[in-house]
Every structure is written in C-alpha cells, then in structure tokens.
Amino acid sequence: MKHLVVLLYLPILLSCASVPKNAPLLNQRVSEGINELKRQHLQSISHIYSLSIEKVDKDYDRFLEKAKEIYMNKTGNTPSTEQEYYKVSILAAQIREKVLFEIRSNLEEVRRKIEENYDLVEDMNHEVTQYLYSAVKVKESERSILDFINRNIKVDLDIDRQISDLSETIETIIKGGKSK
C-alpha cells in the first residue's frame, strides 16, 4: 500500500517543475552577452581614461600657473631667473604627474570594481546554468522512471498525457462525438 501511495505522488511531485530543454543554451547566450557587455564597459572606461589624459596634457598651463603660485607663496618672490623658472617647471611637472597618478589609480580602482561585479554576475549566471542543466536531467530522469513504471507495472503515470487525453475526450464529447 505504501508503495502505491508513493507511486501515485511521485508523478505529481516530479511534474511540478517544467524546464524548457533549451534553457541552458539560452543561459549560455546570456553569459556571452554578459562577457560582451563587460568588454564594452571596460573599453569605454579606457576611452574615458584616454580623454582624461589628453585633457591633462592640454591643461599644462594651469599646472604651470599653480606651480608659480606655490613658488611665490613659499619664496615670496615672482620667478624671474632661468633657475627660478626651472624650479617652477619641475614643480608643474610634479603636479601634473600627481594628477596623472590619481587618474591612473582611479582607473584601476574602477576597472577592479567592474571586474568584480561582472565576475559576480557571471558566477550567478553559472549557478543558474548549472541549476537548469540539473533540472533538465531531473526531467529526463522523471521521464525514464515513468516509462519504467508504465512498462513494468502497467500503470500509466504520465499525468501530462492523461490530462491532454482527458481534455481531448471532453472536447470531443462537447462537440457531440464519441469518446475513445
């Protein structure tokens, strides 16, 4: 009796989930899309970085003015000799390098965070893909078990087919025909 109850509930439990057979393939396409989006995102960040460097290079006069200001604050004099202008130009170059270093550091931090976020999304997608593959395998196993039970016990446990047959029978009766 216990076996009969288990056999009757087994198809109901197994038929609750329906996974399309192409779900893992679709999920693989999502993964490819994620990778392409990541590539484009990183490419955009690199382009923004290049534009930032160009802007720094074009604004060298601002660094020179800032260096003059710093020189005048420290010495109390306006640079007038070649030696003093040499010191100011070195200071301007140092300011420029500091700005470039900050831009590079920020770029690397942004890239690192982008990589981490995309890796997290890829890991989640991989988990979903694994789940879908296993769900498809469960459905295949369910079909195999139902076929085995149908062949050996001569009890049709294919609920989906029985519901479909019943639906067809009801439709035939409603239309005035005879049932199977």
DSSP-assigned letters across all residues of 133-180: HHHHHHHHHHHHHHHHHHHHH-----HHHHHHHHHHHHHHHHTT----
pLDDT of residue 101 exceeding 50? yes
Token pair of 43 as six digits: 């490419």
Banded pLDDT at 4 (limits 50, 70, 90): very low
Token pair of 126 as six digits: 């991989």
pTM above 0.85, yes or no: no
Average pLDDT over residues 12-35: 69
Interval 59-88: pLDDT, tens: 888 999 999 999 999 999 899 899 999 999
Is the CB of residue 97 less than 8 Å from the CB of residue 28?
Answer: no
Which amino acid makes up residue 1? Answer: M
Q: How far apart are CA 169 and CA 164, in angstroms?
A: 9
- Cβ contacts of 26 within 8 Å, gap of 6 or more: 20
